[in-house]
Amino acid sequence: MKARFFCFLAGLFSAILISYGIVSAADQKSSVFSTGIEDQTGIAVTIYNVNLGLIKDQRAIKLPEGINELRFMDVAAKIIPTSVYIKSLVNPNSLRILEQNYEYDLLNPQKLLDKYVGREVKLFSKNFYTEREEIVNAKLLSNNGGPIFQIDNEITFGHPGRIIFPEVPENLISKPTLIWLLENTLKSEQKVEATYLTDGINWRADYVVTLNDKDNQADLSGWVTIDNKSGASYKNAKLKLVAGDVNRVKEEPEYRDRMLRYA
């Protein structure tokens, strides 16, 4: 699935004007660029002991002047999309956000079949008479409860062979990806920082007190255990651990519905 988020100012009239401007910008031709962990120049992780983390991911990227689509990969799978923000560390005014998306329709067999309904695939199976493997062209008619194929003028299901797909559909991705439509005015290399919250990362502290033989002195040792189930790794991160409650604003249903209408 893909969630699309726009910046809304106070007031309905302002929101309409902003949305109109973003749609107009999105209609313009843009170049597509991808950035992964190999472009990372620094990362800072603040972990709260309420299963929440704040990530600041810095990367060096080359963007030409004008409107570009930036695909920001290798982010946490449990990212909180409404918390995402990107900025230029070189010149904050050189980068303008026109559109922001979070694609989390991850590739798996079920979704791949769903996306290929009505399209041509190949079936790879073994001929038990000749003991040779054969490839048959087929059309995937349905995937409700299992794939149903049309081979020539016949319909079949429960085919024992493997299904071969010609390509990965554009609207399916192998890992969570943030996508921005950006207007860049910087001629040199950009250095950007993406900030977001993610669930699925926690920490706890354990302490051991060891007394001496006379029980009048003690050594205190402390250990910190980090449980990372956010769906991303954070190598060489600057780490902060914070204890205590975190006040998180609950997403209002009306605001959520308005955002989903633009998805």
Note the pLDDT tens digit of each residue in 120-149: 999 988 777 777 888 889 999 999 888 999
* 102 and 187 housed in the same domain: yes
* 82 and 141 housed in the same domain: no
* 97 and 117 housed in the same domain: no
pLDDT at 260: 42
In the block, residue with structure tokens 């329709």: 105
Distance CA(146)–CA(66), nearest Å, equals 46
Residue type for position 54: L
Total domain count, the chain: 2
- Is residue 132 a part of any domain in this protein? yes
What average pLDDT score do residues 79-99 get? 94
pLDDT at 252: 52
Helix, strand or coil, per DSSP, at residue 144: coil
* 42 and 127 housed in the same domain: no
User: Alpha helix (H) ranges present in the chain?
Assistant: 12-26, 109-115, 253-260
Nearest 5°: the CA angle 199, 201, 202 is 125
* 26 and 84 housed in the same domain: yes
What average pLDDT score do residues 185-208 get? 95
- Is residue 210 a part of any domain in this protein? no
pLDDT at 208 over 80: yes
Nearest to 154 by CA among 136, 130, 134: 136
* 113 and 151 housed in the same domain: yes
What average pLDDT score do residues 190-209 get? 95
In terms of pLDDT, which residue wins out, 168 or 202?
202
**Gyration radius (Cα) of the chain, Å:** 25
Residues 6+ apart with CB under 8 A from 104: 1, 2, 3, 77, 176
- Is residue 218 a part of any domain in this protein? no
pTM: 0.67
Domain span at residue 147? Answer: 109-164
